[in-house]
Amino acid sequence: MQLRTLLNGFATCNHDVAITGLSLDSRKIKAGHVFVALAVADQAVIQHVKQALALGACAVIYDPNDTVLRRWLAEPALDASEKKPIDTCAFIALPTLASQLGALAARFYAHPSEKLAIIGITGTNGKTSCSQFLGQLLDSCGIIGTLGWGVWGQLALTGYTTPDALATQAMLAEFVNQAQRNVVMEVSSHGLAEGRVNAVRFKGVVLTNISRDHLDFHGSMENYIATKQALFTHSDTEFAVFNLDDALSEQFIAIVPEQVAIWGFCILATTISGAMHRNAALVGNNKRVYAQNISHHVDGLSFELGWQDQLQTIYVPLYGEFNVENLLAVVTVLLAMGQSLAAISANLQRLKPVTGRMQRFGNLHSALIFVDYAHTPDALEKALISARQHCQRNVWVVFGCGGDRDAGKRSQMGACAQKYADHVIITDDNPRSENPAAITQAILSGCQSNSGQSAANITVIHDREQAIRTAIAQASTEDCIVIAGKGHELYQEYHDKKILFSDEQVVMNSLKELEAR
């Protein structure tokens, strides 16, 4: 593509040249690439630009509000080694670059989202499970989310739930090249706030639920909700799916453009509020999917799945009532895409569990063990309630809270753990730059404020491996253990280091040792 073609309508370009790629990372620049210099508000941007020029960048696009870079480019005292590459390279100022980047990348990659049926899934909890289930059930389907991108069972890690705008468009273009027809994509609140899905055309969008999360980034629940709502305001979306049991669903439904079809799902056994009834009326019977008569078994869940005048009995190797909600979201999407309830129900039986999402472990010598990603008060509550439904005696929980993140949820998670578990072991999650003891104390403050429960069964073991091993060693074979907070993660973060660590691996090693005794 020619540089002028790329920038037409975005910025004036007096220097035309053929370009072979776009990059946000100066280390990955190759000859003929355009370096997109997003503002970093310090001198590092100059070093990034210098590196990009040295590696052969033919153009640099920057935001004129980046005063550090703008002043450097205007500096008359640049030495010859700096001035020559600047003079031979196109520097293009593009206002509001961060928000425009998605559209720019979409143009470079020939608007791949227009050639795919993309389902965007947002919400506090359930995004990963829903995307992984849909990835298994939809033919020719790509996945972008927390566990990586690719096709189900063959995902490459990205490190983000929603990749940056350039990477997102590049991934979508690769799915087009692979002849994929569908894509399911987790859309995080960070991704929405930072414009990472700008210029992505969604066929359908899904709201799983809303509860407290990422307030360190958004500042308030009001800001968090408003950011999530942005996904549901596009008039070119064909359908929107909502969890009607969520208290905020009506608030989201109200902002959906008139031409977008609204679908909903609910669990009939749930105590339904007046708001739920109003939402059901907004959706109508033809677009409402429900579950009833849920049963919890040692090997999974069963329930009745209903839509219109049809009813199917479902058996799945999944645990927790929240997974019924996840499955209802998935079923509703598939119905909205034209599949029959009978075909969907038959395919649900072959679903595989998702790594780190109520992932079951255990043997004849141990308690029933679940490794789960629950890292919010709402998710932890649901995980513990779900474990109780499959448990014969006591529920144990091993968890901690991340450092440098929303500190307000720590006491809430402590109170939740004490309320719903018989034995609580508080341990390190990802402390990052914080003192683990301070994080633990904040969690304990919630336990202590929950005066209706005794603190006798609360233990602090900072070493996460030792905490997990202690729970497995002390729990009886009739107990259930929930190891929460990290799920699929393969590391722990201490200061600026990532240390290899896997809850799953520790559990598996502990179980082998138990079995060998």
Q: What is the pLDDT of residues 301-328, one digit of tens each?
A: 999 999 999 999 999 999 888 899 999 9
Mean pLDDT of 488-515: 93
Is there a domain that residue 240 lies in?
yes
Are 381 and 360 in contact by the 8 Å Cβ rule? The answer is no
Mean pLDDT of 338-354: 94
Q: List CB contacts of 228: < 8 A, sequence separation 6 or more.
A: 122, 123, 189, 192, 207, 210, 252
Mean pLDDT of 102-113: 97
Q: Which residue has the tokens 């009532």?
A: 321
Q: Which residue has the higher pLDDT, 15 or 457?
A: 457
Q: Which region holds residue 76: left if phi is over 0, alpha if psi is between -120 and 50, else beta?
A: alpha
Reported as a pLDDT band with limits 50, 70 and 90, residue 448 is confident
Mean pLDDT of 230-257: 95
Host domain of residue 82: 3-95
Residues 364 and 422 in one domain: yes
Residues 193 and 339 in one domain: yes
Please name every residue paired with 301 in a beta bridge, in sequence order, or none if there are none. 296, 316
On the 0-12 / 13-18 / 19+ scale of CB atoms within 10 A, 151 is: middle
Q: List CB contacts of 189: < 8 A, sequence separation 6 or more.
A: 122, 213, 214, 217, 218, 224, 227, 228
Last residue of a domain, which of 313, 348, 383? 348
Is there a domain that residue 100 lies in?
no
Which CATH number covers residue 61? 3.40.1390.10
Number of domains in the chain: 3
Is there a domain that residue 106 lies in?
no
Are 481 and 371 in contact by the 8 Å Cβ rule? The answer is no
| pLDDT at position 83 | 61
| pLDDT at position 505 | 97
Are 332 and 289 in contact by the 8 Å Cβ rule? The answer is yes
**C-alpha distances out from residue 11 to 62, 109, 111, Å:** 11, 18, 19
Residues 405 and 456 in one domain: yes
Residues 338 and 246 in one domain: yes
Reported as a pLDDT band with limits 50, 70 and 90, residue 229 is very high
Q: What is the DSSP string of 273-289?
A: -HHHHHHHHHH-GGGEE
Task: Look up the pTM and report it.
Answer: 0.83
Short-list 432, 433, 455, CA closest to 443: 455
Which CATH number covers residue 269? 3.40.1190.10
Are 94 and 60 in contact by the 8 Å Cβ rule? The answer is no
Strand order in the sheet with 395-399: 359-361, 368-372, 480-484, 395-399, 423-426, 458-460
Residue 274 has pLDDT above 60, yes or no: no
Mean pLDDT score of the chain: 90
Are 297 and 97 in contact by the 8 Å Cβ rule? The answer is no
Mean pLDDT of 1-27: 93
Mean pLDDT of 439-468: 83
Residue 293 has pLDDT above 80, yes or no: yes
Mean pLDDT of 351-360: 89
Q: How many CA atoms lie within 13 A of 494 on its CB side?
A: 10
Residue 453 has pLDDT above 60, yes or no: no
Is there a domain that residue 354 lies in?
no
Residue 181 has pLDDT above 80, yes or no: yes
Helix (H/G/I), strand (E/B), else coil: 213: coil
Last residue of a domain, which of 348, 370, 385? 348
Residues 74 and 183 in one domain: no
> Pseudo-torsion of CA 22, 28, 32, 38, nearest 10°?
40
On the 0-12 / 13-18 / 19+ scale of CB atoms within 10 A, 176 is: buried
Residues 50 and 197 in one domain: no
